[in-house]
Amino acid sequence: MGRIRATRLAFTSVMWILLCMPIQAFNKRFAPQWSRSFPVWFHGSLLRMMGVRVTITGTKPRKGGGLMVANHQGWLDIPVLSTICPLSFVAKAEINKWPFFNILARLQRTVFISRKREKKLAQQRDEISERLAMGATMMVFAEGTSGRGIHVLPFRSSLFSVAEKFPDMPVYPVTVCYRRRYGMPIGRDDHPTVGWYADMDLLPHVWDFFKLGPVDVSVHIHEPIYARDHDRKRLARMSHEQIVASLETLRRHAGKKVDFARIA
């Protein structure tokens, strides 16, 4: 049954992506406003096809843009986080060389950063700053790579440097937690089925994921913090602490709805 499910999902997902790619390409060129909102609908539809149910709680991002910072567990984070609001990602430069996936990333106006070339990095930070100044919402994976999801890796404070240019811009820590599979809590040994990290091959991992039944994901958007009150190192530390604490809470209560206001 798993192989039948995977075959069906692989076919429908690829067909859906191929259908929507030219629509988004048209939007990017002729309808900029639609090009920002279309990915929200596209990713939501794709997740429903895959049996991924997303629950979003917490602070509604304000209009006018901001910086979002999330923990990172793999490729599934991209469609999941894209359902929050119109946003673009900040991704490592290597992704820009991946066939097919680089086209998808560009269609969502991803900014690719290279940490090895300082001159290039300065230009890329300027591009992120320009987007933020124009009211865009940018999503950053501050760990710098995807992890197993069991522990949140330390955040790179350098990725918060753009926030210092906009002291009144909100910085939203965002927690992503894969909580249930087939209605059962996802334990430590189950994380490789949803998380993609280390030396795992991408396509075989996607295929194995398609074999799974429904997956429940919780996304919690924390209250914003501001560079006017904290330097970039403090922003990184505060974001990390909030995400770690909420991730532990979501796992501890994996079988039921979590009221963060009550817990706090």
Span 245-263, pLDDT tens digits: 999 999 887 666 665 544 3
User: In sequence order, what are the residues at sequence separation of 6 or more whose Cβ sits closer than 8 angstroms to the Cβ of residue 253?
Assistant: none
State the Cα–Cα distance between residues 264 and 220, nearest whole angstrom. Answer: 14
What does the pLDDT read at residue 117?
62
Label the pairing between strands 66-70 and 184-185: unpaired
The pLDDT of residue 10 is: 95
> pLDDT per residue over 29-48, tens digit each?
999 999 999 999 999 999 99
Q: Give the residue among 200, 260, 218, 219 at the shortest CA–CA distance from 68.
A: 219
- Output the pLDDT for position 148: 62
- Domain extent listing, the chain: 2-263
H runs (alpha helix) in the chain: 2-30, 32-50, 77-82, 101-107, 118-133, 191-194, 202-210, 232-252, 260-263
Contacts of 261 (CB under 8 A, 6+ apart): none
Residue 88 pLDDT > 70: yes
CATH of region 2-263: 3.40.1130
Mean pLDDT on 152-172: 92
